[in-house]
Amino acid sequence: MAIGIKNTMSMRIVNGLKLAMKARRVTYGELGRRIQLSEPSVKRILSRGTLTIVRLDEICTALDIGLPEILRLTGGQMGDSPDVLSLEQERALAEDPNLFACFYLLANGRSGRDVARDVGTDERTVRRWMARLDDLHLIEMRPKLRAKTRVASVVAWRTDGPLRRAYESRIRREFLDAAFDRHGESLQFLGLFNVCES
């Protein structure tokens, strides 16, 4: 039986697969080679959402990701994950920008090896960060520098918490200073008018 794209859960699964591909820098062509399909066939099954359970399993295996992680990437929660970090967790992340970067990348589907490459450090350092994140109950360490996050995919920062104080102004500044010149990026201003009746 094929999973159809009209089903809301099917759309979440397909979107999760695309997010996982992007996070792992796997192209349609590369995924096709891994599951022995042509690139057009991969694009077709993902655009139409016509995945059999067997094909979904093959893709998950090729991307080294499980269904719970795919659903987490799209905001679907499996279980009771908190959507607000504890004060202790926020403090630890606010005090160590590298730990925060590691957590952010892992929470967005990256492996520890990806983190090492993206941050420009060695795997031993990443393993140490991951052990700290595991101690904070933010991730569950897995073999081969993999991790499962223990928190919701969307986490709200405390209004006056350590993370907001440490990073909010920097994030706003970097966002507003961005050139928006990469593929798929654009900067648009929308005018909204509020009409008051008297």
Q: Residue 146: name the closest of 98, 112, 103, 114 by CA.
A: 112
pLDDT of 189 reads 60
Identify the residue with better confidence: 79 or 188.
188
pLDDT of 89 reads 93
Q: Which pTM does this prediction carry?
A: 0.54
**Would you place residue 190 in the very low, low, confident or very high pLDDT band (cuts 50, 70, 90)?**
low
Please check whether residue 70 is in contact with residue 106, taking contact to mean a CB–CB distance below 8 angstroms.
no
State both tokens at 75.
Answer: 């905001």
pLDDT of 3 reads 46
Residue 26 lies in a domain: yes
Residue-range definition of the domain harbouring residue 47: 2-73
Residue 154 lies in a domain: yes
Domain final residue pick, 19, 44, 73: 73
Domain final residue pick, 73, 100, 132: 73
98 lies in the same domain as 175: yes
Amino acid at 51: L
What CATH number should be reported for the domain holding residue 47?
1.10.260.40
- Mean pLDDT check: name the lowest of 76-85, 88-97, 165-174: 76-85
Pairing label, strands 139-142, 51-52: unpaired
Please check whether residue 109 is in contact with residue 25, taking contact to mean a CB–CB distance below 8 angstroms.
no
Query: 78 forms bridges with which residues in the sheet?
Result: none
pLDDT of 25 reads 87
Amino acid at 189: F
State both tokens at 153.
Answer: 């995919």
Handedness of CA 188, 76, 107, 87 (dihedral sign): positive
Residue 13 DSSP class: H
Which DSSP helix (H) or strand (E) runs through 68?
helix 67-73
Average pLDDT, the chain: 82
State both tokens at 102.
Answer: 């590691």
Terminus-to-terminus CA distance in the chain, angstroms?
59
125 lies in the same domain as 177: yes
